[in-house]
Amino acid sequence: MPSYLITGASRGIGFALLDQLSENADNVVVTIVRNKAATDSKIAAELPGRKNIFVLQGDLTNVESIQNAFTETKKILGDSLDVLIANAGLISDYSAFLSLNELGKDPKALTADLTQLFQVNVVGNIHLFNTFLPLIKNGQAKKIVTISSGMSDEKLALEIGLFEGGPYSISKSAMNMVNAKFQAEFKDEGIIFMGVCPGSVDTGHYDHLSPEEMQRNMAIGGKFMTYAPDFKGFATPTDAARDVLDVVQKATMEANGGQLVSHFGNKKWI
């Protein structure tokens, strides 16, 4: 039975991944979330009768909780795991629409923002990978996938003048190197480490912006329109998850090992 572990499947793309993978009763799907009770309730209401879903509590900022989730995962799956999808992550509302220069006017706040993003999006995932590698090594697919962002691509930033959202972009760019380093170490064992950008997805994260934030967000949108004039609007989490899974299932060591790709399977982010 194919086995999957997803972090952060309580909502958005993560929940859509959980839904689509668990539709197949032959799959066993484990998810690690911060709020287990709320996720259990959501699954009971929206995905009733899915006996192949297992919800565990864990937080990327708490290594002990990840280790505890590993112990519980072994009870469910035994000694192997096919695919780990590192979906959980932090998006900063504080720095999303500002430049590093603007943020630098409050050095303490900028430092705190960078530190928190790095702790969750980078350090937390490193601990996650190291913890679950023993199971991945025994799996069939042997894939560790990070849900990432085209915001981490320095070429995109330069091409369209995308100076906003620096701290988040930096954290995701760091994860690109994390995947490359793990890939360099474990290539000979056949384990694929890769990042996938799901594209522009309406997760509801920016539903409550202030007028100033809305204006800045529209300016960012204008930059993306110059990059992709044929852009037809945000994808739903369901569509984004379907695209991500298609890329993951087709991924090979030769084409994707240690790489970041888009939901198209290439470097076209939108």
Q: What is the pLDDT of residue 203?
A: 80
Asked if 123 contacts 144 with a C-beta cutoff of 8 angstroms, the reply is: no
In the predicted model, what is the mean pLDDT of the chain? 95
Helix H, strand E, coil C: the string for 148-211 is CCHHHCHHHHHHHCCCCCHHHHHHHHHHHHHHHHHHHHHHHHCCEEEEEECCCECCCCCCCCCH
Q: What is the pLDDT of residue 232?
A: 79
Tens of pLDDT, residues 115-159: 999 999 999 999 999 999 999 999 999 999 999 999 999 999 999
Tell me the percentage of the chain whose pLDDT exceeds 90. Answer: 86
3's CB contacts (< 8 A; 6+ apart) are 27, 28, 29, 30, 77, 80, 81, 82, 83, 139
What are the sequence ranges of the domains in the chain?
A: 3-262
- Full-model pTM: 0.94
3-262: what fold? Rossmann fold (3.40.50)
Q: How far apart are CA 156 and CA 267, in angstroms?
A: 10
Asked if 28 contacts 4 with a C-beta cutoff of 8 angstroms, the reply is: yes
Assess whether 172 carries a catalytic annotation: yes
Tens of pLDDT, residues 161-193: 999 999 999 999 999 999 999 999 999 999 999
Number of other CB atoms surrounding residue 136 within 10 Å: 24
Asked if 170 contacts 91 with a C-beta cutoff of 8 angstroms, the reply is: no
Tens of pLDDT, residues 233-264: 789 999 999 999 999 999 999 999 999 999 99
Assess whether 4 carries a catalytic annotation: no
- Which of 36, 172, 187, 267 is catalytic? The answer is 172
Q: What is the pLDDT of residue 200?
A: 87
- Which of 42, 142, 143, 168 is catalytic? The answer is 168
| 27-47: average pLDDT | 98
Of 270 and 65, more confident: 65
Q: What is the pLDDT of residue 231?
A: 83
Whether residue 61 has pLDDT greater than 80: yes
